[in-house]
Structure 1
Amino acid sequence: MSSDADLPLPAGETRGHVSTAANGGWVAGSGSSGGVIRWHNGAAENLGRANGQQTELTDINSSGTAVGMTYANSREDDAVVYRNGQFTTLPIPPGRRTARALAVNDAGDVVGTALGIGDSFDLTIWPAASPGTVLTINPDPAVYGYVSPVEIDEQGRILVRASSSETDFFVRYLDGTMTKLALGTDYVTAFRNGRIAGEKYENDRFVTPEWDLTGTIVRQLDVWATEPVVDSGTRTAGIYRTADDGYALGVWESGVLTHTLITSPDGGFGRPVITDDGVIATIGDTRATFHHRCPA
């Protein structure tokens, strides 16, 4: 069964932009005023601006802790976290100029990037177990100038994107070890519970595979989907092209397309987010969330 519903906007906001969602009815995004909005079970809360600056939220967890960044003079400035009713600025690693928080898991571990001298970016970790601590990770600083997280999962593993002339992917484990994966593509967008999903060009067409932690393909969607996202089980969501050359937001179970939640002739919706408790929302200038409850 699926349904859609408009998310209400707080007073003073004329437009909302959904950016992330989490288990327990949490959704977060931004408003027309330059501040950020958090929704819980459909109720809207205006969180305002962190440090008085334009603020963007990039992720939220099942406790309602949200992370993101501020902007100064239209440029990314500080990494911030919203918890316990207030914004906190996360420490910038030594030798770096700015930082941005991109993802948070239910344990409260925050991951993002930090900008260094020479415009290099390193993976940055703010561990929940060590408040005030900040770590920077680069598999090989002599090779990779841009290192960022795809996502951190609930087991504390991070799927790492490391770019130079080519793009490589690594899994960083909680003990600090890293394993390089041979995925054969640059287009990887999802990581949860050991599931990795993205797009790959092969045999003159794009396909949407899912890999395991060894980099082995375990399944492929029966219809090519762009920017796929995954839950902790067997569900995938993504955008696919329809027979009349339009766009659709689809849901797959174990690689098989089972539901189409919304269609558009011109792709007027963005990359989706998915939660383990059955909520699928589109990212973009939209107030709509799509609730999908699959039979047990």
Structure 2
Amino acid sequence: MWSRHLTTALTLAAATALTAPTASAAPATDAAPTAPQVAPARAATQKTAALGTCTLTPTPLPLPTGTTDGVVNAGDSGGGYAGVATGGGGGHAVRWSGGKVADYGDLPGLTDSLTVSGVNRDGTVVGYTDDAQNKVHPFRSRGGKLEALAVPAFSGAGPMNAFPSAVNDAGDIVGWAYADRDNAPMVAVMWPAAAPGTVVKVTGGLPTTGQTEAAGIDQDGTVLVNSYPADDPVTGNGVYLWRAGSARKLAVPPGETSVKGYALSNGRVAGEAGTHGVLWDQNGTVVRPDKGALLYAVNRTGRIVGYQPSPFGSQVLGVWQLGTQSAVATLTGTDKTVHVSADDGTLAGSVWSSGTHRTTPTTWRCG
């Protein structure tokens, strides 16, 4: 469950006006936030209508000097991206803004592997890396370099493996941690911007047994939390929106028992229920795009990215806009990955070349 990366073909639906109103995501403040106010969830599947086609235009992104490959893993609210560049001595965290790339390097002494999982408008990049003993270390960027985040050590368990998953524009970082895979469950955690150098459990209104994972954070401080049974860190059994010690459980679609959220933006959650992709709208409505088998990214307008069932060796990755059912305008080729549905309307990921055996960080836009 640690990797969200998919290598598939890409299908895109053109954007249209939303069928539900879009609420503005207010910036987080130092004042104590209140619990999210959302209308009661409705489990009924929203009716949708097909869209017209659009043409996707790819744009390769530059790589830092001395690197040969790269991939975009995250997008911010202002048109920037973050990811990893490799080659010439391990992985580096990088950020792209205005068509230029900034190399943040790695966490000193920890170069075995590096994953970037989030970026905010100010350019703060978050992620994790491991050491030679497979211990996982969380990081954030500051002043153009990476620095270690506080390592959780709850209930006398000692230093834990920690995995940041997202950061909002206020600088709050969320993720999950565990002591080891055999003896300690996952627990959702936050590195609050208001208390630098600290890490806390995400608690209140959440299950007190089993496992929890913070998978995303909205601009107003709302956190997307998944719950799991104590003995199963893969099969999610609850999706919650948590804020300031209170949480609301999202509706499980009728007939489903497993459920999981992958991304949160402007009050909407992209994820899966059973074997079907699901978008939970701001009012709790469950939207199921046609053939959406998994939805793992969403932007503030409700544009979601996921993949459709397809024959072996020819998976189809798709994008739907809230209010649509069928994805159209296919970009073929299993050499492409798309990880990001950015707030500016672009998609981002990478393209692998069978000729050069290199991976190029890439964005796509309709038109």
Residue of structure 1 in register with 2:85 after alignment: 31
The question of whether the paired residues in 2 share the 8 Å contact of 1:237 and 1:274 is answered with: yes
For the Cα contact (< 8 Å) 1:189–1:228, is it kept in 2? yes
Measure the CA separation in 1 of the matches of 2:65 and 2:164. Answer: 27
Structure 1 gap ranges (5+): none
1:156/1:89 Cα in 2 relative to 1: closer, same or farther (>3 Å)? Answer: same
Equivalent in 314, 333, 336 of residue 269 of structure 1:
336
Higher relative contact order (CA 8 A, sep 6+): 2
Contact 1:251–1:260 (CA<8 Å) still a contact in 2? Answer: no
1:82: how far off? 0.4
State the Cα deviation string for residues 240-267 of structure 1 (Å, max 9, x = none).
Answer: 3569983334332222346536212xx3
Q: Do the aligned partners of 2:127 and 2:163 also contact (CA within 8 Å) in 1?
A: yes
CA–CA separation in structure 1 for the residues paired with 2:330 and 2:107 = 34
> Any idea what SS the aligned residue of 2:108 has?
helix
**Distance in 2 separating the partners of 1:34 and 1:63:** 22
The separation in 1 between residues aligned to 2:251 and 2:309, in whole angstroms, is 28
In structure 1, what is the Cα distance between the partners aligned to 2:77 and 2:330? 19
Output one character per residue of 1:139-167: Cα deviation in whole Å (capped at 9) or x when no partner: 344x21x3211211111111101111562
Unaligned runs of 5+ in 2: 1-54, 353-358
Find the aligned partners of 1:243 and 1:147 in 2 and give their Cα distance.
34
Aligned ranges for residues 43-82 of structure 1 at < 5 Å?
Answer: 43-54=100-111, 55-73=114-132, 75-82=134-141
Which residue, out of 212, 219, 226, partners 2:294? Answer: 226
Counterpart contact for 1:18–1:287, Cα < 8 Å: no
Determine helix, strand or coil for the equivalent of 2:336: coil
Within 2, Cα distance between the matches of 1:10 and 1:245?
A: 32
Task: Report the identity percentage.
Answer: 30
Structure 2 counterpart of 1:292? 365
Read off the aligned partner of 2:170 and give its amino acid letter: A
Instruction: Spell out the pairing of 1:2-151 with structure 2 (5 A cutoff).
Output: 2-32=56-86, 33-54=90-111, 55-73=114-132, 75-95=134-154, 96-98=158-160, 99-116=162-179, 118-138=183-203, 139-141=206-208, 143-144=209-210, 146-151=211-216
Following the alignment from structure 1 to structure 2, what is the Cα–Cα distance between the partners of residues 113 and 69?
11
Residue 170 (structure 1) shift: 1.6
Q: 1:243 to 1:169 in 2, by over 3 A?
A: closer
Alignment of 1:206-221 (within 5 A): 206-212=275-281, 215-217=284-286, 219-221=287-289
Q: With structure 1 as the length reference, what TM-score do the two structures score?
A: 0.84
- Residues 241 and 162 of structure 1: is their aligned pair in 2 closer, same or farther, counting only changes over 3 Å? closer
Q: In structure 2, what residue type is equivalent to 1:94?
A: A
TM-aligned CA distance change 1:121 to 1:207, over 3 Å: closer
Once structures 1 and 2 are overlaid, which stretch shifts more, 219-228 or 47-56? Answer: 219-228
- The answer to whether the 8 A contact 2:129-2:137 is kept is yes
